[in-house]
């Protein structure tokens, strides 16, 4: 778990309010993000977890102004950072924030890095643009950043191209690029998915160490609850474009409330149980272009009631402060 305490007595670093993102297709308008709201505080790591297609990556592309238009569009909401609604900024204003104040680590560093430019060129491009460094100063800082993320012979490696690095080293280069302008907020989109378990652990430890040194806030996007348990303070569980549960990480793992969250945790392999097969949540996520009435999870839920097919639940605040979008969980909490 993150050892740098989040300062929640201060104002949030980032506030996302009722974010809505839709993609237009030939068949239907796909509502990829439906009313997502959350805060990120200084020094905090917030996990966003869910199956593929749950909307977690699109949410964060919207924060960065990277939703492709068309086919995507922002239908509503606000994203507040440093007194500005990022959704109202023009491209030039957003470029001054992207990579400088808010940076992103993408899932696949081989596609995110330019294969025709050296690593040094890509590292110095950002600092010369945002920090106004000279070529010499930018090269010195680039070498320092590579050393910071654990790449030896840094000055020599600046002349290498991405294909000359291993997968784990390329991910370290991406982290160095993301941190080179000392951003306030780092968005990590599945940063360990393509890596083996040993390298995954090294990357997570690196992020934790860098956060402790710099106080950077992190949004960790992942489908891996093990990663959430390892590095996050709070977690948002997303399903069908919506947040269905928000909680402190320890509370979520100890006592999940939403049936979907319970299913995710039940599907984790356990060392104290020997079984021939792993649990899987039955059914498939709904078609976001043709959502059913009521709760989007009801057809896969084993505790749904009639109300679930008639109306969509809001995010209800339970007695322990967590938020859950479930009629059954709300009723059980009120009777406890």
Domain coordinates in residue numbering, the chain: 1-101+184-282, 108-182
SS (H, E, C) the chain: CCCCCCCCCCCCCEEEEEEEEEEECCCCEEEEEEEEEEEECCCCEEEEECCCCCCHHHHHHHHCCCCCCCCEEEEEEEEEECCEEHHHCCHHHHHHHECCCEEEECCCHHHHCCCCCCHHHHHHHHHHHHCCCCHHHHHHHHHHHHHHCCCCCHHHHCCCCHHHCCHHHHHHHHHHHHHCCCCCEEEEECCCCCCCHHHHHHHHHHHHHHHHHHCCEEEEEECCHHHHHHHCCEEEEEECCEEEEEEEHHHHHHCCCCHHHHHHHHCCCCCCCCCCCCCCCCCCCCCCCCCCCCCCCHHHCCCCCHHHHCCCCCCEECCCCCEECCHHHHHHHHHC
Q: Calculate mean pLDDT across residues 321-335.
A: 90
pLDDT tops 60 at residue 4? no
What tens digit of pLDDT does each residue of 204-263 get? 888 888 888 888 999 999 988 888 998 999 999 999 999 999 999 999 999 999 999 999
Instruction: Count CB atoms within 10 A of the CB of residue 72.
Output: 19
pTM: 0.89
Q: Calculate mean pLDDT across residues 155-173.
A: 92
Which of 210, 142, 204, 139 lies closest to 168 in space, CA to CA?
A: 204
And the tokens for 143? 């070498």
CATH superfamily of 1-101+184-282: P-loop containing nucleotide triphosphate hydrolases (3.40.50.300)
Bridge partners, 22 (sequence order): 31, 73
- What's residue 5's pLDDT? 53
And the tokens for 302? 């084993």
What tens digit of pLDDT does each residue of 53-74 get? 899 999 999 999 999 999 999 9
What tens digit of pLDDT does each residue of 18-53 get? 999 999 999 899 999 999 999 999 999 999 999 888
Query: In the sheet where 217-222 sits, what is the strand order?
Result: 102-105, 185-189, 217-222, 45-49, 234-239, 242-248, 323-324, 316-317
Contact, 75 vs 21, CB < 8 A? yes
Contact, 151 vs 173, CB < 8 A? yes
Q: What does the alpha-carbon distance between residue 267 and residue 48 come to, in Å, rounded to a whole number? A: 17
- What's residue 168's pLDDT? 84
- What's residue 3's pLDDT? 46
What tens digit of pLDDT does each residue of 88-145 get? 999 899 988 988 899 998 877 777 889 999 999 999 998 898 888 999 999 999 999 8
Indicate the pLDDT class of residue 1, thresholds 50, 70 and 90. very low
Name residues whose C-beta falls within 8 Å of residue 64's C-beta, 6 or more positions apart in sequence. Answer: 94, 98, 102, 104, 187
Mean pLDDT across the chain: 89
């Amino acid at each position: 778990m993150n050892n740098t305490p989040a300062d929640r007595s201060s104002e949030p670093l980032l506030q996302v309010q009722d974010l809505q993102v839709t993609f237009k297709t030939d068949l239907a308008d796909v509502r990829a993000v439906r009313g997502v709201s959350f805060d990120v505080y200084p020094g905090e790591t917030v996990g966003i977890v869910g199956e593929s297609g749950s909307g977690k990556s699109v949410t964060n592309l919207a924060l960065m102004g990277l939703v492709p238009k068309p086919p995507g569009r922002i239908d509503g909401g606000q994203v507040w950072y440093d007194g500005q609604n990022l959704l109202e900024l023009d491209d030039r204003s957003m470029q001054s924030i992207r990579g400088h104040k808010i940076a992103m680590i993408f899932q696949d560093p081989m596609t995110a890095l330019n294969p025709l430019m050296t690593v040094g060129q890509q590292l110095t491009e950002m600092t010369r643009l945002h920090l106004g460094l000279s070529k010499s100063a930018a090269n010195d800082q680039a070498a320092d950043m590579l050393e910071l993320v654990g790449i030896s012979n840094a000055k020599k490696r600046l002349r290498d191209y991405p294909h000359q690095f291993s997968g784990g080293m390329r991910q370290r280069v991406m982290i160095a690029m993301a941190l080179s302008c000392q951003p306030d907020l780092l968005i990590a989109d599945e940063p360990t998915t393509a890596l083996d378990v040993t390298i995954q652990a090294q990357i997570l430890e690196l992020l934790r160490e860098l956060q402790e040194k710099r106080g950077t806030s992190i949004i960790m996007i992942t489908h891996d609850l093990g990663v959430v348990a390892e590095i996050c303070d709070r977690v948002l569980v997303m399903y069908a474009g919506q947040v269905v549960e928000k909680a402190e990480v320890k509370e979520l793992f100890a006592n999940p409330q939403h049936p979907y969250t319970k299913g995710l945790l039940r599907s984790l392999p356990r060392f104290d149980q020997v079984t021939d097969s792993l649990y899987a949540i039955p059914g498939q996520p709904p078609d976001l272009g043709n959502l059913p009435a009521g709760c989007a999870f009801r057809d896969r839920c084993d505790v749904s009631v009639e109300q679930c097919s008639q109306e969509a639940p809001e995010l209800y605040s339970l007695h322990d402060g967590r938020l859950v979008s479930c009629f059954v969980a709300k009723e059980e909490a009120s009777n406890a």
